[in-house]
Chains A and B, each alone.
Chain A
Amino acid sequence: VAPTRMAQQTYKAKKKAAEGGHRLLKKKADALKMKFRDYAKAIAETKSGMSSDASSAFFSLTQAEYAAGNFKQKVAEGSMSARIRIGGSVDNVAGVKLPVFTKYDTGAVADNQSLGLIGGGKKIVAVREKFTILLDKLIRLASLQTSFVTLDEAIKITNRRVNALECVTIPKIENLLKYIERELDELEREDFTRLKLVKKKKEVTQKLEDAAKAERIA
């Protein structure tokens, strides 16, 4: 690196940019961390709520079995194309793209309509309802989970960048700046010394000339 004033300006600008970037990234990391905390809490709550929904759903299944007999096999063997599907979309949180699941109903004909004809039809409908509620919660939970994991990665990356700036880039630039300053000072000193010598010589030459002039007149 050439120790010139121009280089010094360039590196001063670079340092400013790096420090600015560092500040911004730290802010981003903090924002992400807060969101992360929120998601963690939401997941904890939803999961425990889901547990009771699941028990109620299973209970309704037992009731239906009692009323309609063994319909489980028929369900598994019927023809089926999924009526419920998951749409994936992306949510932008503090600059990070998080995946979000939404449930949508294709509106296709519900399978197994004929299941409850023998008996216990109402109970089977109840099972369907309970499990649909459970499914809703689960899909929301899945969204939370994926966001959580994605946020985790994003935080790690951002922190890595913050550290890289802090421990590598900025110190490097600072060292360069110090080097340039030292060299510039050295050059100045050399210049200064040279000027003094030149001045001295000029004085000596001047004195000799003055002396010669004085002789000629005299």
Chain B
Amino acid sequence: MEAGKLVAVIGDEDTVTGFLLAGVGHRTAHGSNFLIVKQDTPLQQVEEAFQSFSTRDDVGIILINQHIASDIRHILKDYNETIPTVLEIPSKEHPYDPEQDYIMQRVNMYLGGGGT
């Protein structure tokens, strides 16, 4: 078992393809570390994928398209682990919106509020 952790991806077809080409894809008998979310993918599948990636020991980072992140915002809100880290990325159709990214919200809160 390699020492490094994997990068998991939950995204639309374009996003996942791009990252697979970059070499992050991993598929074994256990399962894969990515989920392609299409228009008809049920929300529950997305939620389950997130739960599974976030509890796996071998996943270090979870990349997720922002519009999908918004769909499972209720789970993301309660997610507080440091590893795996959740990173929201824009997709082809939905450019980056810092208003929605909850890490950015906390960043802005601290930049504006001046820290605890």
Which residues 46-75 in A have Cβ within 8 Å of B in the complex? 47-48, 50-51, 54-55, 57-58, 61-62, 71-72, 75
A127 touches B21 (CB 8 A): yes
- The answer for the CA separation of A62 and B13 in the assembled complex, in Å, is 12
B90 touches A128 (CB 8 A): no
Supposing A145-B85, A150-B82 touch, asked if A51 and B96 sit within 8 A by C-beta, the answer is yes
Q: Say yes or no for B99: interface residue by CB 8 A criterion.
A: no
A36 touches B110 (CB 8 A): yes
Nearest-neighbour CB distance to chain B for A120, whole angstroms, equals: 13
A99 touches B83 (CB 8 A): yes
Q: Say yes or no for A93: interface residue by CB 8 A criterion.
A: no
B87 touches A86 (CB 8 A): no
- The answer for the CA separation of A30 and B8 in the assembled complex, in Å, is 36
Q: Say yes or no for A41: interface residue by CB 8 A criterion.
A: yes
- The answer for the CA separation of A37 and B116 in the assembled complex, in Å, is 11
Which residues 74-123 in A have Cβ within 8 Å of B in the complex? 75-76, 79-88, 99, 101, 104-106, 110-112
- Residues of chain A lying within 8 A (CB to CB) of residue B17: 61, 71-72, 75-76
Q: On chain B, which size bracket covers the interface?
A: 35 or more
Chain A 18-37 near chain B by CB (<8 Å), digits 1 or 0: 00000000000000010011
Contact with B92, one of A44, A62, A88, A152 (Cβ below 8 angstroms): A62
B21 touches A138 (CB 8 A): no
Nearest-neighbour CB distance to chain A for B21, whole angstroms, equals: 5
B4 touches A54 (CB 8 A): no
- Residues of chain A lying within 8 A (CB to CB) of residue B36: 76
The secondary-structure label for the interface of chain B is mixed
Q: Say yes or no for A135: interface residue by CB 8 A criterion.
A: yes
A57 touches B16 (CB 8 A): no
- Residues of chain B lying within 8 A (CB to CB) of residue A152: 106, 110, 116
Nearest-neighbour CB distance to chain B for A155, whole angstroms, equals: 6
Contact with A47, one of B7, B61, B91, B101 (Cβ below 8 angstroms): B101
- The answer for the CA separation of A82 and B23 in the assembled complex, in Å, is 6
Q: Say yes or no for B22: interface residue by CB 8 A criterion.
A: yes
- The answer for the CA separation of A41 and B21 in the assembled complex, in Å, is 31
Q: Say yes or no for B43: interface residue by CB 8 A criterion.
A: no
- Residues of chain A lying within 8 A (CB to CB) of residue B27: 79-81
Q: Which of A62, A84, A87, A141 has most B Cβ within 10 Å? A: A84
- Residues of chain B lying within 8 A (CB to CB) of residue A146: 82-83, 85
Nearest-neighbour CB distance to chain B for A33, whole angstroms, equals: 5
B residues near A, CB below 8 A? 2-7, 13-28, 32-33, 36, 60-61, 63, 80, 82-83, 85, 87, 89-92, 95-96, 98, 101, 103-104, 106-108, 110-111, 115-116
